[in-house]
Structure 1
Amino acid sequence: MNSLPSCRLRDQPAAASSTPVAHAREAWQEASRGPWNLSSIPGFVLTSLFDESQTHLFLFSLVVLIYILAMAGNTAMVLLIWAEARLHTPMYFLLSQLSFLDIFFTSVTVPKMIVGFLFGWTSISFGGCGAQMFFFMFLGAAECLLLALMAYDRYVAICNPLHYPVLMSRRVCLLMVAASWLGGSLNASIQTSLTLQFPYCGSRKISHFFCEVPSLLTLACADTETYEQVLFVTGVVVLLVPITFITTSYALILVAVLRMHSVEGRRKALATCSSHLTVVNLFYGPLVYTYMLPATYHSPGQDDVVSVFYTVLTPMLNPVIYSLRNKEVTGAMKKVIARCGVCRNT
């Protein structure tokens, strides 16, 4: 019984002679054992996607190249639609909004990942993590809703062409874009506030290259089962409801196309719809895997691959898909290039 006090007395000189750095380290270790939040410990550490092997250096260079192409392609699409008068239609206005969202959606995560790999800056503050999570979910949900509204635009154009100017007026298009942005911000506000209210303790290392809700919840030192159910319901609203809306729209479109007597009209309708359907599948598929499947179906490696797919690859493919199979876009692009060539020669 008396041995404990004597041990503490022997330890006191060592404690007295410890440096301020040792005191800070001990305080950090003590704090990291218990719950912490915005007002206590600085933040998290993100997991790098790549190491310094030759294979990973190649993959990193590939991701950077895809990101640059995504930024260039979507920026070019926005400028092209803005500059070319014959593309000032509801369909291309919504397409320009999709490209605009893609520019910021991919920029929420990729630059931080690049800086983390090149300079080792993998730490992120609690507030920075919350901001990244908010804008990621805000832009992702807004894009989900916008893709559903673009399906409605195709439905009206093919099934009700005579009423198209009224049903898809400039005012209606602006309301559609505003609704997608409002729905995205509402979804992000709810999920971010609920996720950040949990106490986090122990390890600060997130098994992901950016702050995403499923990866962050694994670090919470509280029961998150109820919130995961809320997350599932939110996923149903943001993902499955738009998917159902898109499926219904294209079922009606298919019926209308099969009734067309003009082969050229049928081909043009199918070409336009196939581009949009391809983009929908590329974007919604990985999101359904991430937010709708139970945690037992996930692993850090698979989550990283899926996240890279819809945060980098899909934004790069969107302008390519809409350009290659759309004569109006390719024609406008050739016209703008020719115009630039004439200006340069003069």
Structure 2
Amino acid sequence: MNNTQPSSVAFFILQGLGSLGEKRMVLFVIFLLAYTIILGGNSMIIYLVLYTLHSHLHEITLGSPMYFFLHHLSFVDMVYTTVTIPNMLSGFLTDLKTVSFPGCFLQMYCFIHMATTGRALLTVMAYDRYVAICNPLRYTTVMTRPVRLLLIVGAWTFGAFFTLPAITMATQRSYCGPNVVRHCWCDPSSLRVLVCGDTQVENMVSLSSAVISLLTTGLLILISYILIVMAIAKMGTTQRLKAFTTCVAHLTVVNIVPLCALYIIVVLLLQVRIIVSVLYSVLTPFLNPMIYSLRNKELRDAIKRAFFKVLSNC
């Protein structure tokens, strides 16, 4: 790589997992199926929460703040995967996958923003569970519509705050040839090696943003669940079981995210890092609708009602 003469890069070549050869078609089928389930499952949650139960039943079941946050999380998951998976799928079918210079940074911004916003929404949902379990009598007065909207705006602002610095710095740099990104999409660390010159500042800003956002959300979620456990300890057996059931789905999703994210940040083997980051980008959006629908009786009942309603109209 020539680090002295910057070139005007108009596009980038995404190398992805091209070294897998014939196994690419197997991955294409797997990820296409996963993407279909992600879109279908999350669309179903959004549809059920927003449209199917506008009657008094909606207010009793899917009208609670928890479902308000859940359908926002489903929207984030859909955008998060749509930014990367279709591009990756087309890469499995072609030997040469290119992306324009502006398109590359737009993809990078959306990917990081959605990932960080999704983590912030999980934090908001942890606070929602804390209020519901620790202050059940004040739940409806605390989690009012203005408060819910403020929490949603805060989650999106949090995502933008930890995304813009690194992306802004990346767009201001010159990039040298070869313009080959050794990833399935415009990953910041993979793109940074193509910069003409020293990237220590960008590395520090990017790493600091990732670690601080993970630690901030992780600490807030931990505090919420410590308070929840303290409240559950004072309850009777029946109340404990009910309180625990409302938290299982959220806890399952929350524990998956940081383990994968930390592994992606730390691991040095490029091929392993790419595979793990690809799985991470698919795993949580894939599991979210399945976990919440399987662990939540109200959502399961709503799915059954919607299904039978469709059958009756046929």
TM normalised by structure 1 equals 0.84
1:221 corresponding residue in structure 2: 196
Q: Which moved more, 1:198-207 or 1:323-332?
A: 198-207
**Separation in structure 2 between the aligned mates of residue 135 and residue 121 of structure 1, nearest angstrom:** 23
Tell me which amino acid in the other structure corresponds to 2:6: P
How high is the sequence identity, in percent, across the aligned residues?
A: 38
Quick check: 1:108–1:132 contact (8 Å CA) kept in 2?
Answer: yes
Change (3 A) 1:133 1:332: same
Quick check: 2:24–2:92 contact (8 Å CA) kept in 1?
Answer: no
Offset of residue 240 of structure 1: 0.8
2:284 corresponding residue in structure 1: 314
Give the CA RMSD over aligned residues: 1.9
Between Structure 1 and Structure 2, how many residues are aligned? 307
Task: Kindly indicate whether residue 252 of structure 2 is the aligned counterpart of residue 278 of structure 1.
Answer: yes
Greater RCO (Cα-Cα under 8 Å, separation 6 or more): 2
Q: Which moved more, 1:151-160 or 1:282-291?
A: 282-291
**Separation in structure 2 between the aligned mates of residue 102 and residue 241 of structure 1, nearest angstrom:** 21
Task: Kindly indicate whether residue 32 of structure 2 is the aligned counterpart of residue 58 of structure 1.
Answer: no
Q: Which structure 2 residues correspond to residues 161-176 of structure 1 after superposition, within 5 A?
A: 161-176=136-151
Task: Kindly indicate whether residue 297 of structure 2 is the aligned counterpart of residue 327 of structure 1.
Answer: yes
Q: Which structure 2 residues correspond to residues 175-186 of structure 1 after superposition, within 5 A?
A: 175-186=150-161
Quick check: 1:50–1:60 contact (8 Å CA) kept in 2?
Answer: no
The SS at the match of 1:44 is strand
1:48 to 12, 16, 26: 16
Q: Which moved more, 1:209-218 or 1:232-241?
A: 232-241
Change (3 A) 1:240 1:93: same
Offset of residue 124 of structure 1: 1.2
Change (3 A) 1:89 1:300: same
Offset of residue 117 of structure 1: 2.1
Tell me which amino acid in the other structure corresponds to 1:55: K
After TM superposition, which residue ranges in structure 1, 4 or more long, deviate above 4 angstroms? 50-54
**Separation in structure 2 between the aligned mates of residue 251 and residue 72 of structure 1, nearest angstrom:** 34
Offset of residue 34 of structure 1: 2.2
2:98 to 123, 139, 143: 123
Task: Kindly indicate whether residue 6 of structure 2 is the aligned counterpart of residue 35 of structure 1.
Answer: yes
Q: Which moved more, 1:232-241 or 1:152-161?
A: 232-241
**Separation in structure 2 between the aligned mates of residue 53 and residue 222 of structure 1, nearest angstrom:** 33
Task: Kindly indicate whether residue 187 of structure 2 is the aligned counterpart of residue 212 of structure 1.
Answer: yes
2:172 corresponding residue in structure 1: 197
Change (3 A) 1:223 1:53: closer
**Separation in structure 1 between the aligned mates of residue 285 and residue 183 of structure 2, nearest angstrom:** 20
The SS at the match of 1:109 is helix
Between structure 1 and structure 2, the one with the greater Rg is: 1
The SS at the match of 1:273 is helix
5+ residue gaps, structure 2: none
Offset of residue 136 of structure 1: 0.7
Q: Which structure 2 residues correspond to residues 1-346 of structure 1 after superposition, within 5 A?
A: 34-36=5-7, 40-50=8-18, 53-82=21-50, 83-84=52-53, 85=58, 86-261=61-236, 263-291=237-265, 293=266, 297-344=267-314
TM normalised by structure 2 equals 0.92
